[in-house]
Amino acid sequence: MHGDETTGKDIRALQQKFRDGGISRRDFLAALGALGISAVGARSHLASASALALSPRKGGTAIYANNLHGPDDQLDPIVFTSGIDYTRGRACYNNLTQILDHLTLHPELAEEWSANHDGTEFTFKIRKGVEFHDGSPLTADDVVWSMNRHLGADSPSVIKAYFTSVTEWRKVDKHTVRARLSAPDRDLPIKLGEKQAKIVKKDTTDFRKGIGTGPYILESFEPGVRSLHSRNPNYWRDGPNFDSLVLTAITDPIARVNALIAGDVHLIASVNSRSVRLIESTEGVHVNSTPSGRYGGICCLKNTPPGESDHFVKGMQYIQDRERIVRSILKGHGQVGNDHPISPVYGADHCADLPQRPYDPDKAKWHLKQTGISSAELFVAPVAAGIVETC
């Protein structure tokens, strides 16, 4: 009996360590094997630990550090331009639609939507029972007012170009709105999931209060310093799980990683690929790596030499050793591109049949020579520690 009790305690301790991210799946199974647990039994314990890990524990304060902030930090969604703005926006507000994993579209404040036969009208049913942080109910009036802010040449919205085909938003009833378009736009519901297309309270003039329908209530906001948020007790769906949030930024990438490892912050953004191995080797800290739509390309002006030459463009395309870039610069945390920004993460919009352009220095030299370039001095900018040596 004593031995069974000890084994049980050891298993529970391992499960707790696995749930907290202090041990990998492989090491968890190996440790169970060392305790004499069969392969079948080990998988059972792994499933139990994984299920518990997926059940969020409520309470506490989460401190999040972005990579950039400054005096121009905003709480008015239509002028959001930075990562820290987007994070605060997600805490304070909601959209009509939401873009989730694999860029799939889901309902948020709009429960459902439909288009007319020619795609020039979209009707959205607004979720009932949703409250703003000040206790006032969400209605179609708030949605119409929020969306009309993006219309017109004088709109300060940074995404107003997305809605040039929308001629008006109007209220149908208390919980229904309709968008009229001058031309069909099947992507309108997707655009409504953009970070700047948040729904705010009608006639809001002071956005420093951050009054929205989101999971966290703004308590204080110091642009370029931090914002404090408390859990919204009347949030319309499951969650939030933390009692409070602290949203700030640490602009130095090394200092940001060190703060995470030291436990001064709990989450960070924009992890440099060169820091991933250090983080992964630290007990209790792990990296969430998600394929994104970010595209790293070489841009050149097509209205001036040498970029105006198609030969120059072709030369630059062939001179890129893409596999080496992914391996050496991104440390494996990336995918080889193919001279267009539509990656596999875009699903059906990605063209997998397009032949991959290979690395071919001889073709690159030939094309560049046609533009009069036979030699060039290579300058590697020391934009980060170790980058010159890596290249």
DSSP result, 266-334: SEESS--GGGHHHHHTSTT-----------------TTSTTTT-HHHHHHHHHT--HHHIIIIISTT-S
* Bond preceding residue 361 cis, omega within 30 of 0: no
Q: Are residues 97 and 202 in the same domain?
A: yes
SS3 361: helix
The residue assigned the tokens 């040449």 is 153
Nearest CA to 321 out of 274, 366, 291, 357 is that of 357
Residues in Cβ contact with 47 at an 8 Å cutoff, skipping those fewer than 6 apart:
none
| Domain closes at, from 160, 182, 208 | 208
Q: Are residues 122 and 38 in the same domain?
A: no
Residue 269: other Cβ atoms inside 10 A? 16
In a domain, 292, yes or no: no
| Domain closes at, from 149, 179, 208 | 208
CB hemisphere CA count around 357 (13 angstroms): 17
Q: 386: domain range? A: 310-390
Tell me if 123 sits within 8 A of 107, measured CB to CB.
Answer: no
- Residue 189 sits at the vertex; the CA angle it makes with 187 and 195, to the nearest 5 degrees, is 100
CA distance 373 to 312: 9
**CATH code assigned at 137:** 3.90.76.10
| Domain closes at, from 164, 186, 208 | 208
Its pTM stands at 0.74
pLDDT score recorded for residue 314: 95
Tell me if 346 sits within 8 A of 357, measured CB to CB.
Answer: no
CA distance 168 to 179: 6
Q: Are residues 335 and 386 in the same domain?
A: yes
In a domain, 350, yes or no: yes
In a domain, 100, yes or no: yes
Residue 14: other Cβ atoms inside 10 A? 22
Q: Are residues 321 and 377 in the same domain?
A: yes
Residues in Cβ contact with 299 at an 8 Å cutoff, skipping those fewer than 6 apart:
none
Q: Are residues 19 and 126 in the same domain?
A: no
CA dist list (Å): 181 to 120, 160, 355: 5, 14, 38
* pLDDT per residue as tens digits for the range 264-320: 999 999 888 888 888 888 888 888 877 777 788 888 888 889 999 999 999 999 999
Q: Are residues 112 and 20 in the same domain?
A: no
In a domain, 60, yes or no: no
pLDDT score recorded for residue 375: 87
- Structural domain total, the chain: 3
Q: Are residues 162 and 100 in the same domain?
A: yes
CA distance 135 to 345: 39
pLDDT score recorded for residue 2: 38
In a domain, 26, yes or no: yes
Q: Are residues 46 and 116 in the same domain?
A: no
User: Which strands sit side by side in the sheet containing 226-231, from one edge to the other?
Assistant: 216-222, 226-231, 244-249, 61-66, 267-268
Q: Are residues 128 and 24 in the same domain?
A: no
CA distance 29 to 36: 11
Q: Are residues 324 and 373 in the same domain?
A: yes
Length of the chain (residues): 391
Residue 88: other Cβ atoms inside 10 A? 27
Q: Are residues 145 and 204 in the same domain?
A: yes
* Bond preceding residue 240 cis, omega within 30 of 0: yes
Burial 32-44 (b: 16+ CB within 10 A, else e): beeeebeeeebee
CA distance 272 to 255: 12
SS3 98: strand
In a domain, 354, yes or no: yes
φ, ψ of residue 193 in degrees (nearest 5): -90, 0
pLDDT score recorded for residue 43: 55
CA distance 271 to 258: 11
pLDDT < 50 stretches in the chain? 1-6, 40
Q: Are residues 105 and 26 in the same domain?
A: no
In a domain, 251, yes or no: no
In a domain, 286, yes or no: no
Residue 232: other Cβ atoms inside 10 A? 20
